[in-house]
Amino acid sequence: MLETSHPVAFLPSVDLERSERFFQGVLKLPLLQRSTFASVFAIGGGTLRVTKVDELRAQPFTVFGWLVTDLRATVQELRSRGTAFLRYEGMDQDDNGVWRTPSGDLVAWFHDPDMNVLSLTRLSRQ
């Protein structure tokens, strides 16, 4: 039943206008709906609901990510729009912050304006 349902992802934000500029402007996600409580964006057959919160303690781990077909091109495009990619001590990341997993997948991480950790992944079997 749920495997054919469209997902709804949630991310918290203390500043919806700032988040909207990032998700719509930098990431180029189509804005579907806006209210005082949330901004809702279209993502790959589902939606991303960026929800207004009064306070937020960002987590040190990935809270949301995308599977992409060309990770390096996506990283370069986001870099050109001002996105900084994260580096993690002890991980053998290349100059662009891309890490190759033991299975050959490629992963890169970045923050949204609320310091939520987001990721891009290219599966080696794609």
* Token pair listed for 27: 């990431």
pTM of the full structure? 0.93
* DSSP code, position 35: -
pLDDT of res. 72: 95
pLDDT of res. 3: 87
The domain covering 1-56 belongs, at the CATH homologous superfamily level, to 2,3-Dihydroxybiphenyl 1,2-Dioxygenase, domain 1 (3.10.180.10)
What are the start and end residues of each CATH 3.10.180.10 domain in the chain?
1-56, 58-126
Q: With a cut of 70, which residues of the chain have pLDDT below it?
A: 126
CATH of domain 58-126: 3.10.180.10
pLDDT of res. 126: 59
**Sequence letter at residue 114:** D
Helices (H) and strands (E) in the chain, counts: 2, 8
